[in-house]
Amino acid sequence: MSPIVLLRRQSPDWQALSHDYRRGVPIDPTRYVPDHPIPDFPPRIATLIGAWNARFRTDFFTFRALLVRLSAANLAAVSRAGRYAYDQMEEVAGLSRRAQFYLYPHDDDDFFAPYLAQTIEQCARGCDVLVTPLFRIGTASWTFVPPGCAPEYVLGEARAQDFRFQTNNYAVHSRRLADAERIRAIKDHIEASAYARALSFTEATAPQVLSATVKTPASASSLAKAFGSRLALRRAFVRSIDGLHALELPERFDWIGRPCQRIASWLEAVYRGEALEPSAEIM
């Protein structure tokens, strides 16, 4: 059994949405609107996506599908990792009853270090959950740092986490995941933070940065601000592109540095009015 399992959270099928939209098939918003509340998720998402599609030749669904492909290529490079989707939760629960591993919940556009498993084996030491620093990359970039942790590297400024866990920087031991309900309880970092506190999870931290999240104008939390006005839209794209190009990271962080440069090039193409293909080169 692999020492880690990567579990992709529930997310729209952006590839299918891109395919249908490009063929002229009407898109029902229920295909991409979450069926449960999500903090900071814009209530006018259908209107905002419509505004994107009216403004750019690269439709929103295709851009998100490209991000998913980029993330998937990154995940494929993570050694000794099992990879599962949200609808395979029962299968993951079955694995947890037969083997020991650490599970990372993540979004469909997240990124992880290829040496994730090696660090888990060195640092987790059998605790219920391992938490590590997290790069948050966008118009401004910073590093979320767990309490009491001295990170190996700080991108931008160091910031305290908003919750006990942040986005995708926590790995939960399989002994806490014996059934699908327990996995659902830890899949979201906000709910997982409360759940871990209620059940007195033992916790360890490590200084290595093992994960990253990249915020673009296509991120759900950014769409409303970006489409507030024409000036806001230009500012959102320019700042995002400049922020990605300005990244200066040591070579050991190429696993996130290279994808960020690709995302910057895609954003430039979108804003110039180019029509990106869903099959565009990833790296």
Q: Say what the pLDDT of residue 40 is.
A: 67
Q: Say what the pLDDT of residue 39 is.
A: 67
Q: How many residues appear in the chain? A: 283
Q: What is the pTM of this model?
A: 0.95
Domain ranges of the chain: 1-283
> What residues pair up with 141 in beta bridges, in sequence order?
none
| Closest-CA residue to 5 (of 120, 108, 110) | 120
At 64, list the tokens: 């998100």
| pLDDT of 179 strictly over 70 | yes
**Average pLDDT of the residues of the chain:** 95
| Closest-CA residue to 132 (of 73, 212, 247, 187) | 212
Q: Which residue in this structure is represented by tokens 């851009």?
A: 63
- Mean pLDDT in residue range 168-188: 96
The type of residue at 27 is: I
Q: Which of 25-29, 188-192, 277-281 has the lowest mean pLDDT?
A: 277-281
Q: Say what the pLDDT of residue 104 is.
A: 98
| pLDDT of 109 strictly over 80 | yes
> 111 phi and psi, to 5 degrees?
-135, 145
